[in-house]
Amino acid sequence: MAPRAERRVSAALFDLDDTLYDHSFALESAVAELQKQDPRLLAVPLGVLVSNDQAVLRDVHRSLVLPKKVTLPESRVLRMLRLYESLGIELSGSEARRLSELRRAAYLESERPVPGARSLLEELRSRRVHVGIVSNNLLAEQKGKLSRIGLAGLLDSLTVSEEVRAPKPDPQIFRLALRRCGRPPAEAVVVGDSWKEDIEGAQTAGLNAVWFNRRRDPRPSVGNPARELASFRPTAKAVATILGARARTG
């Protein structure tokens, strides 16, 4: 039997939130400001407040925003109502709206790329690697984030679940991203922080995967061949890990 040949990775497809865009930092900053502005929250440990906020955001985003059952502004008010409800605090509709606007402003003020992301993308592009985004969100929302943190000009493609009405880990979104970059699955690698959505989703669609594990969580599947990164720094190491995630084809 002839030896199996390696295919060069020529496309890197990144998740956005908490992979290139530091969502956790902005969220924690926004929740801390919310606590600072509302005395009723001072008795709640910040960690609990952040955890509840993340859980509410995740649920509303998946069940209502992505299916377009509510608009983004409506979802922010709803999330505030549910957050306070989870803490046993009554909140009127007008209060929820005011606090959601306060939280949103604090979130926007804290936006930033994940440390090392800009240098990583610049280096990949200098090597003529196609750099794209594959994200579970709305197109306008993700375009705004990329523009505000200054990464929009470093991308060759942007694919979001809104376009296929099927969020990761559904293979449809990965297939659309592949069509846009014009590469076969064996030459593409997905880099993302969610094991189920990014890693298992990519692998199901036939792509390579690199798990971006900033929190250094335990590996969900020891036997899974996905490579792992805890940081995009130093750039050379991150690039080597991403471009070294090669599939073998025969």
CATH number, domain 5-22+112-249, options 1.20.1250.20, 3.40.1190.20, 3.30.70.270, 3.40.50.1000: 3.40.50.1000
Model confidence at 6, pLDDT cuts 50, 70, 90, reads: low
Q: What sign has the CA pseudo-torsion 219, 244, 120, 104?
A: negative
Q: Nearest to residue 209, comparing CAs of 11, 4, 24?
A: 11
Residue 51: partners with Cβ closer than 8 Å, 6 or more residues away: none
Three-state secondary structure of 185-228: HHHEEEEECCHHHHHHHHHHCCCEEEEECCCCCCCCCCCCCCEE
Average pLDDT of span 169-176? 96
Q: Nearest to residue 119, comparing CAs of 30, 239, 228?
A: 239
Give the model's pLDDT for residue 248: 37
From CA 56, how far away is CA 37, in angstroms rounded?
20
Domain definitions of the chain by residue range: 5-22+112-249, 23-109
pLDDT, tens digit (0-9, with 9 covering 90-100), for 42-98: 999 999 999 999 999 999 999 999 999 999 999 999 999 999 999 999 999 999 999
Beta bridge partners of 5: 249
